[in-house]
A and B are shown apart, each in its own frame.
Chain A
């Protein structure tokens, strides 16, 4: 946990994202039908989901640790990770909707990917409501941790597996062109990988800031 007070990885994250803004908008990309220039959304929309996934994984890690040790800090860390993840979840949904408006003609066209993403969002909103509705600290921590551990695989199935098995119009699903094994473009990796790593690290960073804020609050309450 000492990592969260170091600054080298935070600077790395900022440099990576900053470089991806330039490379992502300026480097040439493959000319593909339907996608056109919006193929560049790969550098800005997809990393939102990567950031979300990263903090959700960390939150599951701390949920498990909380159940093993019963340390209050782990419960706080896990909850703050979920909150940060929900923010990136919303950003992913909104950026996806903007893209859908100009590609599919509507912000929401009940595509399997969109629908299951919405269900997954509700799943985590339910987590927040559940956690906030329990007053007693240990009970809250336990129930939230168990819920979180079960919610994570369901979310992964909803967002990353189910849409790919049906006729989703989302790039990468159902044979639609996207960055993948069909048209792997080495040039795109220059912007894509730094963006993915950078946004993941920024998501972690925001989660640690939230966690430290909660920790100060928690310590304050312990003293008084």
Chain B
């Protein structure tokens, strides 16, 4: 969810820059401002979000395995 929402956020931020183009062709959208540090932030944020999802999935899988084992022990 986080990955998608941050992606949407960045996409939206370029839309506003696009709409403002009048006389000068505005190329520097948000991701290129501030020495492009936002690109680094996005990269790290996305990779961390991926890792987080990975951890959550392992957690869920373990939940399922524990349930199965508990059921097996009962029968």
Interface residues of A (CB under 8 A from B): 5, 7, 10, 14, 17-18, 21-22, 25-26, 202, 205-206, 209, 212-213, 216, 219-220, 223
Contact = CB atoms under 8 A, between A and B. Distances in A.
The majority secondary structure among interface residues of chain B is: helix
A25 B58 contact: no
The majority secondary structure among interface residues of chain A is: helix
B48 A212 contact: no
A216 B37 contact: no
B70 to A, nearest CB: 9
Interface residues of B, number: 20
Nearest to B45: A21
Given A205-B55, A209-B58, A209-B59, A220 B48 contact: no
Contacts of B32: none
B48 A18 contact: yes
Max chain A Cβ within 10 angstroms of own Cβ: one of B40, B55, B72: B55
A21 B6 CA distance: 13
Nearest to B55: A205
19 contacts: A5-B63, A10-B59, A17-B48, A18-B45, A18-B49, A21-B41, A21-B44, A25-B37, A25-B41, A26-B37, A26-B41, A205-B55, A205-B59, A209-B55, A209-B58, A209-B59, A212-B62, A213-B62, A220-B69
Contacts of A220: 69
Nearest to B58: A209
A205 to B, nearest CB: 7
A26 B33 CA distance: 12
Interface in B43-59: 44-45, 48-49, 52, 55-56, 58-59
A220 B41 CA distance: 44
B55 A223 contact: no
